């Protein structure tokens, strides 16, 4: 039977989501745990790949499990076997046609920035030691909304194919010394969120005076800002029709 669950993980110790031969990855750790609990190989499919150091709170995966499995007990056993920095939750049955990647209708990412050195968050947020013009950064966000070619914000090494994405929302929330950039879209390109954040930071410090829509229309990676560090990024949630 096909099953779905959410995955939460701290990506610090992992070379990203996707299984790799010589690296420790989140996907491999989950598959190893299922093999122990279910006593047979159980390949898992994720909603998307996250890079080394990127975290997730609501990654979505599907896996095929034997019909006789008690899902509640399976979830408890999985979390007992998994490393302390990975957990699954909301294990449930879905239609056989369900696909964690292709059935997803949107993804939400958050990027965390702090304005003072915070040792307890050094693997959770990017420390920016200089002042930023947050108002100017926020005024740029509406220019990201809608359907666009996001080639400008796609890092080298991405898969060939369409660079068209539809951004549903983008906002910056401020909480004392914490600043949280949130973006939702139907899909994201390789390192797209981190490239957008890097560009917003350049806009905020006055290093880039071009409007964000002009930067976007150039379809030229060199016109965007640096790709910021992975550790400030969290895959917050993946949306599906009728699946929590």
Q: How far apart are CA 169 and CA 185, in angstroms?
A: 7
Active-site residue identified among 51, 70, 96, 213:
51
Question: Where do the H-state alpha helices sit in 87-191?
Answer: 134-140
| Strands (E) located in 12-155 | 44-46, 55-64, 86-93, 104-114, 126-127, 146-149
Q: How many CA atoms lie within 13 A of 83 on its CB side?
A: 18
Q: 180-198 burial, b if ≥16 CB within 10 A, otherwise e?
A: bbbbbbebbbbbbbbbbbb
Helices (H), 19-155: 26-38, 71-81, 134-140
Alpha carbons within 13 angstroms on the beta-carbon side of residue 6 total: 14
Other C-beta atoms lying within 10 Å of the C-beta of residue 244: 7
User: Does 51 qualify as catalytic in the annotation?
Assistant: yes
Q: Tell me whether strands 104-114 and 126-127 are parallel, antiparallel or unpaired.
A: parallel
Pairing of strands 233-240, 55-64: parallel
The 10 Å CB-count burial string (b at 16+, else e) for 137-161 is bbebbebbeeebebbbbbeeeeeee
Is the separation of the CB atoms in 159 and 190 below 8 Å?
A: yes
What residues act catalytically?
51
């Amino acid at each position: 039977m096909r099953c779905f669950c959410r995955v939460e993980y701290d990506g610090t110790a992992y070379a990203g989501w996707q299984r790799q031969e010589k690296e420790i990855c989140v996907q491999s750790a989950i598959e190893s745990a299922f093999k122990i609990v279910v006593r047979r190989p159980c390949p898992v499919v994720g909603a998307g790949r996250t890079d080394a150091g990127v975290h997730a709170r609501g990654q979505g995966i599907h896996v095929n499990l034997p019909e006789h499995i008690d899902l509640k007990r399976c979830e408890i056993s999985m979390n007992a076997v998994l490393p302390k920095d990975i957990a699954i939750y909301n294990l449930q049955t879905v239609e056989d046609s369900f696909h964690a990647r292709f059935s997803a209708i949107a993804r939400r990412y958050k990027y965390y920035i702090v304005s003072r050195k915070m040792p307890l968050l050094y693997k959770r947020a990017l420390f920016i030691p200089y002042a930023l013009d947050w108002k100017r950064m926020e005024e740029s966000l509406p220019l990201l909304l809608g359907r666009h070619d996001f080639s400008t914000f796609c890092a080298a090494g991405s898969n060939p194919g369409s660079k068209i994405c539809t951004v549903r929302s983008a906002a910056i929330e401020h909480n004392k010394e914490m600043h949280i950039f949130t973006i939702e879209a139907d899909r994201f390109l390789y390192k797209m969120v981190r490239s957008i954040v890097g560009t917003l930071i350049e806009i905020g410090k006055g290093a880039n005076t071009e409007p964000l829509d002009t930067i976007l229309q150039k379809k030229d990676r060199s016109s965007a800002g640096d790709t910021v560090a992975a550790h400030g990024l969290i895959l917050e949630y993946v949306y599906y029709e009728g699946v929590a």
